[in-house]
Amino acid sequence: MAVYTDASQLSAVYRRRAQAIRPAFRRAVQASTLEIKRTAMEFSSRTGLPPAALRRLRHPFAARLPKDSGPYPDSQIGQRTGRFRAGWRAQTRETADGLEGQVWNDAPQARFMLGTRKMRKRPILERAAQVCRLRVQQEFRAAQQDVITIS
């Protein structure tokens, strides 16, 4: 660690750090957003039960039944055609307040994940964010450490 006695040297270091913050955090936002998308896609890849099996199980994801009472957690979706899994999108952008990462699904089936009158909510994205929370924190700590070590 360097010791500076001149104010101009110190201000130059802080200027370099300030210029490095945005790109470092942009990379952290992008990596975190893609990690959440990847996890959501993974949750959307479970081998699905055919409609006949769901009928035999008396519709295990019905709103009348308790959360996570089905053959697998509510946050996992059985894959039949792959359209829902392929519908995941991720985007990072700069806003007036800073950087923002968004993950969403644009498949037609995605609207049902919020629940319906007969089917309970399937919180895939919430669960993916929860699972990735530690990794997201690590991304931002690493970005912060990269900036702090600039001299």
Structure confidence at residue 112 as a pLDDT band (50, 70, 90): very high
pLDDT tier at 83 (50, 70, 90 boundaries)? Answer: very high
Q: Measured between alpha carbons, how far is 89 from 19 in angstroms, rounded to an integer?
A: 30
Residues 6+ apart with CB under 8 A from 94: 26, 100
Chain segment 114-145, per-residue pLDDT in tens = 999 999 999 999 999 999 999 999 999 999 99
The confidence score (pLDDT) of residue 18 equals 86
Note the pTM of the prediction, 2 decimals: 0.85
Tokens of 77: 């979706």
Give 3 or 149, the one with higher predicted confidence. 149
Contacts 24+ apart (CB under 8 A), 94-101: 94/26, 98/25, 99/22, 99/25, 99/26, 99/29, 100/29, 101/29, 101/30, 101/32, 101/33, 101/36
Report the pLDDT value the prediction gives residue 7, as an integer from 0 to 100: 86
pLDDT at 1: 58
H or E element at residue 43: helix 7-43
pLDDT of residue 151 exceeding 80, the answer is no
pLDDT, tens digit (0-9, with 9 covering 90-100), for 9-66:
888 888 888 888 889 999 999 999 999 999 999 999 888 888 899 899 999 999 999 9
Name residue 8's amino acid: S
Report the pLDDT value the prediction gives residue 4, as an integer from 0 to 100. Answer: 63
